[in-house]
Amino acid sequence: MGERRYTTTALVSATGYYHIFAIPYVASYSFFNKDTRFEIFVDDVGEFNETYHDGISKLTEIHGGDIITIRQMDTSLLGSEFQQATPRFVQVPVVKTDYVYIGDVDVLILDSMISHQHIHNMHANDLPFSNVLRKDTGNIHSEIGPRLSGLHFSKWDSYYPLPETLTKQNEVSSEHLLYEIVRDKLGDFEISVDFRPMHGFHISDKLHTWDPNSTEQIGLHTDYLSGYFSLRNSEYWNGLKPSFSEIYLSWLEIIDSTIDMVWPENNGISVPRPNYSNGKITGAGMGDCPRISDITACRHQFLDVPSQKKEFTEAGQIFDFIDYTKQNDFRKLVLIGGDYVEHFSTINRAFSGITILKTPGDRYPPNGLYDVLEQRGVIESISWDEASFEAGSLVVISPQAYDYMAKVDFDWGTIGSDVGIGIITSDSDHDFCETAKCLTNTRILTNLDREDSFCIQRKFEDGHEIRYYVDVYPMGVSPVPDKDGASIINEIHKIEIDGDDELFAEFYESNKYRLDYDKKRVERYVRYLYSSELYEECISEVDRNRDKNPVLLKMRARAMRNLGDLENCINFYRMHLMNYPDDTDCLIEMVEAIKNMGADFTPDLNRYSEMTRNRKQLDEWLSKNGVLHK
């Protein structure tokens, strides 16, 4: 093929879990637009290139070697506090083109002549860029200042080079910084013609896949249906799809099933263009379909991003769950009970099949989407009497099903020893399953240690945070419920009210695998072991819980210090400070340990002294111990 001349560089961020969108973004954009090259900014270039080697190779084979450049995200121009979407606005492409388009990587592009559309809008506004001002009134954004939207098309020289000083950096929105960058370049400006097309389906974890009452808060944007059919039916797209992430393919399956649900008689080529009237999307051949929010409802399990890691929300663990199933060669998923089906339908391509084993009174299917998913062979549902468990399957049991199995004295031997078993649970003493009115906390019903546990949801009710997990047990182990959860909870509550630490520790020790869902109870038990000078036991308990509860690392450091292992205790103090850099007590204890070893503590002190929570406390300790530090 002849050498292309690219007029536009599309620049997107694919950090965190957003790497799953990068190859489909380039593939779809390039299908409709031949004038654009791409620079994708990621967390780790080597890892991305290895994961998506096939996709990159196919794209360069089709479009040429200069179609895509993978770059390391550079945040050196930013401060320590910035919103996740901010870094893309301060990246500089390595290849200069006439225009740059800073976009959203999670858009499936279904529009042509994108550059021409924005150039036309630039002429209409007599501006060297195409974007819109957000309409903020009476909210936190209006207090900070104006902001442009995150989809920014610009002449190259009207955006680069970037200003030497970047202002309006904050964790609220990246778009204030974008406005300041543009204003620094152009001065004050006005936008008279609003033009900000999405150019495709926004496959965002924040948006409903379908909402009959909204034209904006949906991923399946009706303006781009014809483009989607053209792309979906192309040899080009189907040749690239095997290189896409399993999760992205799962979401495409949900989109296709939603289309079939909304237009049940569609021919797979086109549908009549719908209209939005009287607050609802209507049109020929459309069924009366509910809102489809499966991806949005499960967004926490996908959010493997820095902001979530910083807060230790356990987000993004569905990727770890998928890795676990691959490592253990679990090819098929069996869900006993359909209450949490959306958490697994959204990863349907990670398995050869998903079977829903319905218990009596089960609420499955939650909506018509699942009827279509069954018609398409993505999911099957069977009645309780048809139960069977194929070797190499992973069986995941919902709380309502677990309650039912306990009541009917289920024969766990029927599941077999050649399948894996997982149970959905919560970390709440008070959350109840709507269907069975049983506790969602199933962990408390059996005192068996788990092989692993994966967070799949986080929600807030009545001011309390509740997290949901899939607890998986070693192969061949059946987590038969052996006690009433309510009695265990009542007993631990009574002990906690009484305030007897020894009684608490004794009860916790004998029920630790039931009670370790509660981080505060784990911390109390660890502190009891430490205060009782049971340092080896303290270290062991921290190691069992530290991945889920990193605040415990400081207690491990203290226990090692008291055992005389200063070198390793310092390493754990450092690990704790990486997570909690403002912990003054930890900083002081670490400096003291380094000082007692006769080593140089200056680098550590310099690194954390400006971030520490109580600088006065630190300065007083330094002065008392004759340590000079500016």
Q: What confidence tens digit (pLDDT) does each residue in 528-559 have?
A: 999 999 999 999 999 999 988 999 999 999 99
Of 280-284, 382-386, 461-465, which range is least confident?
461-465
Could you give the percent of the chain with pLDDT greater than 90?
A: 82
Confidence band, pLDDT 50/70/90 cuts, at residue 1:
very low
Domain presence at residue 593: no
Of the three residues 273, 291, 309, the one that is the final residue of a domain is 291
User: Average of pLDDT values for 404-421?
Assistant: 93
What pTM value is reported for the model?
Answer: 0.92
Instruction: Give yes or no: residues 262 and 279 share one domain.
Output: yes
Q: What confidence tens digit (pLDDT) does each residue in 567-594 have?
A: 999 999 999 999 999 999 999 999 999 9
Q: What is the DSSP letter of 433?
A: -
**∠ Cα 238 242 244 (to 5°):** 105
Domain that holds residue 260: 203-291
Domain presence at residue 391: yes
Domain presence at residue 271: yes
Instruction: Give yes or no: residues 29 and 161 share one domain.
Output: yes
* CATH number, domain containing residue 46: 3.90.550
Q: What confidence tens digit (pLDDT) does each residue in 387-412 have?
A: 989 999 999 999 999 999 999 999 99
User: Average of pLDDT values for 222-233?
Assistant: 95
Is residue 448 pLDDT above 50, yes or no? Answer: yes
* CATH number, domain containing residue 378: 3.40.50
Q: What is the pLDDT of residue 138?
A: 62
Domain presence at residue 509: no
Q: What is the pLDDT of residue 70?
A: 98
Instruction: Give yes or no: residues 18 and 163 share one domain.
Output: yes
Instruction: Give yes or no: residues 279 and 337 share one domain.
Output: no
Instruction: Give yes or no: residues 16 and 107 share one domain.
Output: yes
Instruction: Give yes or no: residues 161 and 44 share one domain.
Output: yes
Instruction: Give yes or no: residues 221 and 105 share one domain.
Output: no
Instruction: Give yes or no: residues 143 and 86 share one domain.
Output: yes
Q: What confidence tens digit (pLDDT) does each residue in 480-497 have?
A: 998 777 889 999 999 999
Of 115-119, 293-297, 459-463, which range is least confident?
459-463
Q: Encoding tokens for residue 354?
A: 């998903």
Domain presence at residue 616: no
Confidence band, pLDDT 50/70/90 cuts, at residue 151:
very high
Of the three residues 417, 445, 477, the one that is the final residue of a domain is 477
Domain presence at residue 308: yes
Domain presence at residue 581: no
Is residue 168 pLDDT above 70, yes or no? Answer: no
378 residue type, one letter: V
Instruction: Give yes or no: residues 73 and 48 share one domain.
Output: yes
Q: What is the pLDDT of residue 396?
A: 98
Report how far residue 436's alpha carbon sits from residue 336's, in angstroms, rounded to the nearest whole number. 14
Q: What is the pLDDT of residue 418?
A: 93
User: Average of pLDDT values for 302-306?
Assistant: 89
Instruction: Give yes or no: residues 126 and 215 share one domain.
Output: no
Number of domains in the chain: 3
Is residue 456 pLDDT above 80, yes or no? Answer: yes
State the DSSP string of 294-347.
HHHHTGGGG--SHHHHHTT--TTTHHHHHHHHHHTT--EEEEESSTTTHHHHTT
Instruction: Give yes or no: residues 328 and 410 share one domain.
Output: yes
Domain presence at residue 610: no
Instruction: Give yes or no: residues 324 and 460 share one domain.
Output: yes
Q: What is the pLDDT of residue 106?
A: 96
User: Average of pLDDT values for 39-54?
Assistant: 98
Of the three residues 236, 256, 291, the one that is the final residue of a domain is 291
CB 161 within 8 A of CB 140: no
Summary mean pLDDT of the chain: 93
